[in-house]
């Protein structure tokens, strides 16, 4: 269906049918749905690419799911999905394909962008990354004074930071422990200052990661890193041994002084927030070793194939996307919580914030018309069990509906890529641990408690506790309403055996394709991000006003003018007058 003939979302009969169905479903409790159907959990559980999704604790019936998939079909999700994998320019406002699936196309079948197969280029850069990672890890790559590299700092922001930073945390169990790996993004000097203060420049390697190589924060941090390095090494030639670049912009890389030989390229068809599998993942690859990076790509690819091939009814990303539409557009849920029960996934909610909110935070449709429906939700979250002692109260007993994804693992991460130490499973000791490591028996003990909380929370959220149940506990009558849990709070449970590189890849791809599905349904461009430009433009102008010697002619609103004046009048470090 061509864009011009595409009917508006809310005019579709499938949308109207869902609106009518919502009127029936809004009063139905999960207690009733589970009581009605003993097979409910089985009916609403699916597995793919090492992940199991139980979506039975959602306020849906088989009819709801059938109506939602009918909507997805009417919106052209299948055609759009095929267009993405075929390299069509689905990022319309930038006239580009969004081909991150090519970066992890482990089957190596040709994938075309603008008529040419991108796989040879993808494989060539991947091979260069591997050679570089091995050279750094083995000590073959030396710093300017001949010392091996002991610290890597990735300098980047947004998609050039969040992906590798999140995945490095997630896969720390696989990381080389005698290599310090840090990620600097904020233009606040505190970030680069704290990241470098205990490091030796002659043993530190900076990876400057920026698709455009013009991003203010990254360039400022990179210049500061260069000055820090040269202050110690006192020779411009040192830059070649201590700086490499990841970018699409060779000209700017060379202008910065990095030898293009030390540049790892990627392509304009890789969106920043979808770039972890490109050379943007270089710091991660050095940290965890190429074989684990490749295992992560395998996991991405397995989920890509599932998304491309499974019918919508049995397609994990599509189901997550549709449930999001159900709560966002029909129940009016403004936010969606991401709750990983894994400390290693502590940066996952922040990573998904960019992936989801930068993709779906749009208010015009593909033809530039104002949409007449809600688009992206607010994505937020923290790892469990910490969140339970902080914001869970509001999810359990607050007045708002907050759908949530619970992500958990059957066993603690071992750093052994799916070959668990038998002791972890049985709770016995047996595998050799480093003297400073927590005994494996203790890890198993922690994990069972973590997972008991994981399962308890989704049960409590779904089923709550009724007035009658509270009263039975002999509670003072005036306290009864305070102790009642309404329940009927929807959750998805995503369970995997262990947080391995492959499982992490599948998990990220699951959310990428969820976001894609929602972008198609809401008829928006999920691959551009024009909304970040205005702030950048104004900051450029204001920077001049903050530093001007003479009193600037401020032409902002009265609030911004007054704040700038206040800043100018305060004594500051580095002030020239």
Helix (H), strand (E), coil (C) string for 517-543: HHHHHCCCCCCCCHHHHHHHHHHHHHH
Examine residue 163 and tell whether it contacts ligand F6P (CB under 6 A). Answer: no
Which of residues 158, 383, 387, 403 is near ligand F6P by CB under 6 A?
A: 158
Q: Is 529 in the site for ligand F6P (CB under 6 A)?
A: yes
Cβ proximity to ligand F6P: between 245 and 421 the closer is: 245
Q: Is 160 in the site for ligand F6P (CB under 6 A)?
A: yes
**The one catalytic residue among 389, 533, 537, 549:** 389
Q: Which is nearer to ligand F6P, 1 or 538 (CB)?
A: 538
> What is the gyration radius of the CA atoms in the chain, in angstroms?
26
**How many residues belong to the chain?**
577
Per the CB < 8 A criterion, the answer to whether 372 and 8 are in contact is yes
Q: Which is nearer to ligand F6P, 274 or 327 (CB)?
A: 274
User: CB 219 → ligand F6P: shortest distance, Å?
Assistant: 8
Provide the sign of the torsion angle of the four alpha carbons 79, 85, 86, 88, taken in this order: positive
User: Nearest approach, Cβ of 212 to ligand F6P (angstroms)?
Assistant: 3
Q: Which residue has the tokens 């007449």?
A: 372
Is there binding between residue 312 and ligand F6P (CB under 6 A)? no
Considering Cα of 103, then 104, then 106, then 109, what sign does the dihedral take? negative
Question: Distances from the Cα of 574 to the Cαs of 7, 191, 228, 444, 547, in angstroms?
Answer: 58, 18, 17, 53, 11
Please, what is the minimum distance in Å from the beta carbon of residue 247 to ligand F6P?
A: 8
Only one residue has tokens 């502590």, namely 346
Phi-psi region of 493 (alpha: psi -120 to 50; beta: other; left: phi over 0): beta
- Pick from 86, 390, 479, 532 the residue near ligand F6P by CB under 6 A: 532
Least distance in angstroms from the C-beta of 325 to ligand F6P: 24
Which residues does residue 183 pair with via DSSP β-bridges, in sequence order? 154
Which of the following is catalytic: 265, 358, 512, 545?
Answer: 358
536 catalytic per annotation: yes
Q: Report, in Å, the least distance between residue 503 CB and ligand F6P.
A: 24
Q: At closest approach, how far in Å is the CB of 532 from ligand F6P?
A: 4
The reply on whether position 518 binds ligand F6P by CB under 6 A is no
**CA quadruple 32, 34, 37, 38: dihedral positive or negative?**
negative
In the range 478-497, which residues lie near ligand F6P by CB under 6 A?
none
User: What mask, x for binding ligand F6P by CB under 6 A, covers residues 184 to 213?
Assistant: --------------------------xxx-
Q: Degrees (nearest 5) of the Cα angle 189, 191, 197?
A: 90
* Catalytic residue flag (residue 57): no
Residue 221 in contact with ligand F6P, rule: CB under 6 A: no
Instruction: Say what angle helices 162-170 and 501-521 make with each other, to 10 degrees.
Output: 140
CB 203 within 8 A of CB 147: yes
Instruction: Give me the residue whose beta carbon is nearest to ligand F6P.
Output: 272
143 binds ligand F6P (CB under 6 A): no
Contact status: 272 vs ligand F6P (CB under 6 A):
yes
Residue tagged active-site, from 446, 449, 482, 536: 536
The C-alpha atoms of residue 434 and residue 416 are separated, in whole angstroms, by: 15
Closer residue to ligand F6P (CB): 45 or 212: 212
Applying CB under 6 A, which part among 154-162, 385-393, 405-413, 503-511 lies near ligand F6P? 154-162
Q: Which of 87, 97, 143, 159: binder of ligand F6P (CB under 6 A)? A: 159
User: Could you give the C-alpha distances from 376 to 312, 352, 356, 363, 525, in angstroms and in order?
Assistant: 21, 12, 7, 9, 12
- Total site size for ligand F6P, rule CB under 6 A: 14
User: Is there a cis peptide before residue 385, judged by omega within 30 degrees of 0?
Assistant: yes
What CA–CA distances, in Å, run from 523 to 6, 22, 35, 92, 515? 10, 21, 37, 12, 12
Residues that bind ligand F6P (CB under 6 A): 157-160, 210-212, 215, 218, 272-273, 358, 529, 532
Which residues are known to be catalytic? 358, 389, 536
């Amino acid at each position: 269906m061509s864009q011009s003939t595409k009917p508006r979302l809310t005019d579709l009969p499938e949308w109207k049918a869902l609106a009518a169905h919502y009127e029936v479903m809004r009063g139905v409790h999960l207690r009733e749905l589970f009581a009605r159907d003993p097979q409910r959990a089985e009916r609403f559980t699916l597995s793919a690419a090492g992940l199991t999704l139980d979506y039975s604790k959602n306020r849906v019936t088989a009819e709801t799911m059938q109506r939602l998939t009918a909507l997805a079909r009417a919106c052209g999700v299948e055609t759009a999905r095929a267009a993405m994998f075929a390299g069509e320019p689905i990022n319309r406002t930038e006239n580009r394909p969004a081909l991150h699936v090519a970066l992890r196309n482990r089957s190596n079948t040709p994938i075309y962008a603008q008529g040419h197969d991108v796989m040879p280029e993808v494989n060539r850069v991947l091979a260069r990354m591997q050679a570089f990672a091995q050279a750094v890890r083995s000590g073959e790559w030396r710093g300017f004074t001949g010392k091996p590299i002991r610290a890597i700092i990735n300098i980047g922001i947004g998609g050039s930071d969040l992906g590798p930073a999140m995945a490095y945390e997630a896969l720390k169990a696989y990381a080389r422990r005698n290599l310090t790996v840090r990620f600097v993004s904020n233009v606040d000097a505190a970030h680069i200052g704290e990241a470098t203060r205990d490091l030796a420049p002659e043993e530190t390697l900076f990876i400057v990661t920026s698709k455009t190589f013009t991003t203010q924060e990254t360039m400022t941090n990179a210049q500061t890193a260069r000055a820090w390095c040269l202050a110690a090494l006192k020779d411009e030639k040192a830059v070649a041994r201590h700086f490499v670049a990841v970018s699409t912009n060779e000209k700017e890389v060379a202008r910065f002084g990095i030898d293009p030989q030390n540049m790892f390229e990627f392509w304009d068809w890789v969106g920043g927030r979808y770039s972890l599998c490109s050379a943007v993942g270089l710091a991660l690859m050095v940290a965890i070793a190429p074989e684990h990076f490749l295992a992560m790509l395998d996991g991405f690819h397995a989920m890509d194939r599932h998304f491309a091939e499974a019918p919508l009814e049995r397609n994990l990303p599509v189901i997550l996307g549709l449930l999001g539409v159900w709560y966002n557009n029909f129940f009016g849920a403004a936010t969606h919580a991401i709750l990983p029960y894994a400390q290693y996934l502590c940066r996952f909610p922040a990573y998904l914030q960019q992936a989801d909110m930068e993709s779906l935070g749009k208010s015009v449709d593909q033809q530039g018309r104002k949409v007449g429906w809600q688009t992206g939700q607010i994505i937020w979250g923290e790892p469990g069990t910490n969140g339970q002692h902080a914001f869970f109260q509001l999810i359990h007993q607050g007045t708002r509906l907050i759908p949530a994804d619970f992500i958990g693992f059957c066993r603690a991460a071992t750093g052994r890529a799916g070959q668990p130490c038998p002791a972890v499973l049985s709770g016995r000791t047996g595998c050799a641990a480093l003297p400073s490591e927590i005994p494996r028996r203790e890890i198993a003990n922690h994990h069972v408690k973590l997972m008991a909380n994981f399962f308890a929370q989704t049960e409590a959220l779904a089923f709550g506790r009724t007035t009658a149940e509270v009263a039975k506990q002999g509670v003072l009558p005036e306290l009864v309403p305070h102790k009642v849990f309404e329940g009927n709070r929807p959750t998805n449970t995503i369970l995997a055996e262990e947080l391995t590189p492959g499982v992490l890849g599948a998990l990220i791809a699951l959310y990428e394709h969820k976001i894609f599905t929602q972008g198609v349904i809401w008829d928006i461009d999920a691959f551009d991000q024009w909304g970040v430009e205005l702030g950048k433009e104004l900051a450029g102008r204001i920077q001049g006003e903050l530093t001007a010697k003479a009193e600037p002619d401020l032409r902002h609103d009265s609030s911004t003018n007054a704040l700038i004046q206040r800043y100018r009048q305060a004594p500051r470090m580095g002030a020239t007058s």
